[in-house]
Structure 1
Amino acid sequence: MPQANPEVGSAELVSAEVSDEDFAHIKAAVHEFIRTRVVPREREIADGDAVPEDLRQAAKDIGLFGFAIPQQWGGLGLNLAQDVELALEFGYTSLALRSMFGTNNGIAGQVLVGFGTPEQKQRWLAPIAAGEVVASFALTEPGAGSDPAGLRTRAVEQENGDWVIDGSKCFITNAPLADLFVTFARVRPADDDGPGIAVFLVPAGTPGVRVADHDRKMGQEGSWTADVHFDNVRVPASALVGGQVDLGYRAAMTSLARGRVHIAALAVGTAQRALDESVQYAATATQGGAPIGRFQLVQAMLADMATGVMAGRALVRDAAAQWVSGRDRRIAPSVAKLFCTEMVGEVADKAVQVHGGSGYMRDVPVERIYRDVRLLRLYEGTSEIQRLIIGGGLVRQAERDSGAGTGTTKEDRS
């Protein structure tokens, strides 16, 4: 399997900052919070298209805005293996809750953790971990979705060292609430020196930053996304992440790969909820005087659902362990995301089928789940992109092992 770059994200190559005993208490607190405070209010979140403020504050109070931020900057300091155990819990309820603090811990926050200068970490990570700052990951564009190499947003260096950014982003999670945009922009065409993509820290209040109204989506009500426009936005040299102009592509790829394992775990948690709802319904709903769960075809659907959930849980835990050890940080995350997000789509479909007509009704949890999980196969890289990463990575590894590889690819340079 491909070996990780030991200089990237090396904090997770050492022992976890949180002991198993302490983590058990954290996980138990999150489990209690999800099951007793969030699950009963799922309909309120969906109908209001927002996470209530008291739940947001409660999430801050138990450290959920910074669970994956190292302790030296005020976070809980969970490694990815512990991270996914919480994601299994987050997936059990409305995905809007996790989305609320997901970018702080994941794709946006991890860019700073892994690539920021000491000054950038000192300035931003503590307020991010406390939930005082909401960070958004501004990568996706209308013409550059799953392949960041197609970025059109441009950053031009000025004589005084400032940078001026122009361009537009779309589908940016938490954009309407964001205080900081971790913004990717092209500084030159890709060449032999690198992909020419840099990443900048752009406060939301910077002149020229404009956030559109939040999108109306198929599902995941309460999780806000929006277009973000940068019109002659000027930032100082200190806004360049890592102080290096060619860091952006590698930062994006590393952050996205880590996030894929988290999303895979989230999918498993949601699949578990869909299975639990279906088993309970099958055991209590009757047809012809008998519970429908006694029908063999219903049992077969439940069996397929349970098999997918168990396989996904094992896979995501293995992928997380490989990430933490540094054994594989490229192929395993894509394998986990591909399988688990496709699996939860199948489980959600079967859950609606088990419920019959009731499963199509808006107030039934499996109807919401069916809509919510469709997005999981799109963000953090589509299923098609994951297949390219997996297949291409396996072939390149075989070529390296045999000595047959003679050229480099965009991924090799990253």
Structure 2
Amino acid sequence: MTTSHPGMDAETFEQFLEQLNRYVRERLIPAEREIIENDEIPEEIVQEMRDMGLFGLTMPEEFGGAGMNVSQYARTIHAISYAMPAFRSIVSINIGMFCSALKNGGTAAQKAEWLPRVAAGEIAAFGLTEPGAGSDSAGMQTTAVKTDDGWVLNGTKRYITNAPYAKVALIMARTSKENLPKNAHVSAFIVLMDTPGVSVGKSDKKMGQAGSTIADIILEDVHVPDDALLGGETGKGFVYAMKSLDNGRISVGSAATGYARRALDSAVRYATERKAFGEPIANFQLIQQMLAQSEIDIYAAECMLEDVTRRADAGENVLRKAAAFKVFASEMCGRVVDACVQVYGGAGYLAEYDAERFFRDARIYRIYEGTTQILQLQIAKHMLREFHANA
């Protein structure tokens, strides 16, 4: 059991959340159409998000962050995610992945150097997935070879969010040719994106999530100094990455829950406005059933969000519960956006209406930060391990 995290002052946090909810509705949602057309968040909005401190939510105050605990962070992500997913995407890699890994595993010098920069809004990327290795670290091909004055990295990272804009990336690389127990063959490196030998592929065209950009990061004989090795020791990279994935999974679950709420609100509004047979379709019981079931699903996910974050703040190991929350919330969001399209009927299939976009945007939630199937395996593995330990 680790120490608990009191987080930001409760009254200050509630005021911040109220301001954020207003910003989401008055500024971010009206900007969505422009972002969809350009597939990019305007720089002035990114700067506003920096000014609001959204890139440093969980960063300790001494490093320029807001010092939020996990519950506060998840509620903030839930609020941002009422708007299109790109807004969460650009901040959550900084906070949920890069910052978490650095807080968990960085040296004092690495924290002092990078946490203030990332909190201030220097965009970070997280390089784990490869063309032939996503969930399977044993298949990782990117290598880091020791030299007299540092390391030389070679490999390709795939589907890396923020890659085209990132100033820095946390790159997982193999420091041992053999696959070692507990993934000790993988280490993590802090790599500046302007380092010679680092290049970024062209942005991938995606099913949904306009404005959230992913691309390959290619490393060709990239020389980094000794102090680029996270924590100053090899074999710990994957452990730090996985610890930060707990936060990442809570973030995705929170995002899926917030976006499901947006889709349901949209469906309710449409059902009250759209008339058939001379009355609003909201009067029809089978429409009401879809709306009610969506509300039930969202409520269940909100309860899981509250529970898993409270446990995380109390210092519990939430690996299993974070995985369970992410699976349930992402699958739930898929059901809700599907119901939203159904309520819209034929209009739900048209790009002119929001329902079609909600449907496409939500699909990735069941895939990234651990697919539903991989997380189910992980949950089962932990259940069985626990059973055998207690038998």
For Structure 1 versus Structure 2, the TM-score category normalised by the shorter chain is over 0.9
Gaps of 5+ in 1: 7-12, 403-414
CA distance in structure 1 between the aligned counterparts of 2:112 and 2:139, rounded to whole angstroms: 32
SS in 2 for 1:108: helix
How many angstroms does 1:193 deviate by? 8.0
Q: Deviation string for 1:162-183 (max 9, x for gaps)? A: 1000000000000000100100
- 1:233 maps to a residue whose letter is V
CA distance in structure 2 between the aligned counterparts of 1:22 and 1:263, rounded to whole angstroms: 25
What does 1:170-209 align with in structure 2 at a 5 Å threshold? 170-188=158-176, 189-192=178-181, 195-209=184-198
Aligned partner of 1:27 among 10, 14, 17:
17
Q: Does the aligned pair in 2 maintain the 1:353–1:359 contact within 8 Å?
A: yes
Which residue does the alignment assign to 2:156?
168
- 2:219 maps to a residue whose letter is F
Which residue does the alignment assign to 2:114?
124
Aligned partner of 1:305 among 263, 274, 294:
294
1:41 partnered with 2:31:
yes
Q: Does the aligned pair in 1 maintain the 2:53–2:120 contact within 8 Å?
A: yes
What does 1:4-403 align with in structure 2 at a 5 Å threshold? 6=2, 13-131=3-121, 133-158=122-147, 160-188=148-176, 189-192=178-181, 195-402=184-391
CA distance in structure 2 between the aligned counterparts of 1:22 and 1:180, rounded to whole angstroms: 31
Q: Does the aligned pair in 2 maintain the 1:109–1:135 contact within 8 Å?
A: no
CA distance in structure 2 between the aligned counterparts of 1:113 and 1:363, rounded to whole angstroms: 44
Q: Does the aligned pair in 2 maintain the 1:161–1:237 contact within 8 Å?
A: yes
CA distance in structure 2 between the aligned counterparts of 1:330 and 1:95, rounded to whole angstroms: 24
Change (3 A) 1:118 1:49: same
CA distance in structure 2 between the aligned counterparts of 1:83 and 1:179, rounded to whole angstroms: 23
Q: Deviation string for 1:326-379 (max 9, x for gaps)? A: 223210000000000000001000100000111112132221111001011111
CA distance in structure 2 between the aligned counterparts of 1:241 and 1:195, rounded to whole angstroms: 13
Q: Does the aligned pair in 1 maintain the 2:107–2:230 contact within 8 Å?
A: yes
Which residue does the alignment assign to 1:412?
none
How many angstroms does 1:70 deviate by? 1.2
How many angstroms does 1:150 deviate by? 2.3
- 1:294 maps to a residue whose letter is N
Q: Does the aligned pair in 2 maintain the 1:149–1:195 contact within 8 Å?
A: no
Indicate the larger mover: 193-202 or 69-78. Answer: 193-202
CA distance in structure 2 between the aligned counterparts of 1:201 and 1:26, rounded to whole angstroms: 31
Q: Deviation string for 1:67-104 (max 9, x for gaps)? A: 12111110111111111101111111110111111111
Change (3 A) 1:192 1:259: closer
- 1:324 maps to a residue whose letter is D
| Percent identity of equivalent pairs | 38
Q: TM-score, normalised by structure 1?
A: 0.92
CA distance in structure 1 between the aligned counterparts of 2:12 and 2:260, rounded to whole angstroms: 27
Q: TM-score, normalised by structure 2?
A: 0.97
Change (3 A) 1:194 1:55: closer
Gaps of 5+ in 2: none
How many angstroms does 1:147 deviate by? 2.5
Q: Cα RMSD between the aligned structures?
A: 1.2
SS in 2 for 1:333: helix
Q: Deviation string for 1:24-83 (max 9, x for gaps)? A: 011111111101101112111111101112211110111001112111110111111111
4+ long deviations beyond 6 Å: none
Q: Deviation string for 1:272-324 (max 9, x for gaps)? A: 01110011111111001100011111011111111111001111111111112
CA distance in structure 1 between the aligned counterparts of 2:182 and 2:289, rounded to whole angstroms: 55
Q: Does the aligned pair in 1 maintain the 2:5–2:314 contact within 8 Å?
A: no
Q: Deviation string for 1:105-157 (max 9, x for gaps)? A: 111221111111010111111010011x2110011001111233321100010
Q: Does the aligned pair in 1 maintain the 2:160–2:217 contact within 8 Å?
A: yes
CA distance in structure 2 between the aligned counterparts of 1:161 and 1:190, rounded to whole angstroms: 25
Indicate the larger mover: 15-24 or 349-358. Answer: 15-24
Change (3 A) 1:284 1:192: closer
